Amino acid sequence: MSDLGFTPDEIMTIAAARALTNDDVCFVGIGAPSAACNVARLTHAPDITLIYESGTIGTAPDVLPLSIGDGELCETAVTTVAVPEMFRYWLQGGRISIGFLGAAQLDRFGNINTTVIGDYNKPKVRLPGGGGAPEIASSCGEIYITMKQSLRGMVEKIDFFTSFGHGEGGDHRQRLGITTKGPTRLITDLAMWKPDPETKEFTVVSLHPGVTRDDVQATCGWTVKFADDLEETPRPTELELTTLRDLKARTEAAHSGGRKPKAA
């Protein structure tokens, strides 16, 4: 907990949640993306449609799921469809506005690696893989990415292209025939980033309270660019913090064998 009353993880989650609207149809990743999407649903965007990769549509979990196969998602969904229908009709059919992804490695153009660290044939670490993320990155209207900043995670060159962001930058997506916007926001525990309109390189547009430019650069593997009109991220409100903390407390209780009362 910082002396400002919230942790870096909390402001990352809340800043990500604020980027979502009532009208969004959102393909949700497990972990930080799931927390952000559900905080949005429980606060300013009650009508947001949350979709998970297992085929659950309009889900409203009381606790955060452990995986896309968590029964909580199906139990609280408006409907559940087969995975092929989810990808072919909903995702590839252009019906999902926002894809929310995490990353193990990320480069300055929003390309994501969740496959291996090191050489593919002799990796230092073998990661979970892409799952549906490559298709999400290409077929959702736009992509939001959440991750904690570190020199290991934000790198000059990713070890493996799992999910395509802006490739080499510029119009690379368009040259490949990809018509969706790609990554439009990167929300970290230190800052909010957006791609430059021309180069598509991620640029810091907002620093979280108490964070300096040096803090951001010290945890990023490339030379960071900052917007001319750099802003400070608004502090979390009492409602946002309470909602997030209650959600996390219910989740911890449920996954440890207990069960706290449902959200109001």
| Contacts (Cβ under 8 Å, ≥6 apart) of 68 | 30, 52, 53, 54, 131
Q: Taking a C-beta distance cutoff of 8 angstroms, is the pair 199, 170 a contact?
A: yes
Q: Kindly report the three-state secondary structure assignment for every residue of 193-212.
A: EEECCCCCCEEEEEECCCCC
Write down the catalytic residue from 10, 53, 135, 201: 53
92: phi > 0 → left, psi -120 to 50 → alpha, else beta; which?
alpha
* Vertex 72: Cα angle to 70 and 45 (nearest 5): 115
Would you call 53 a catalytic residue per the annotation? yes
Which residues are known catalytic residues? 53
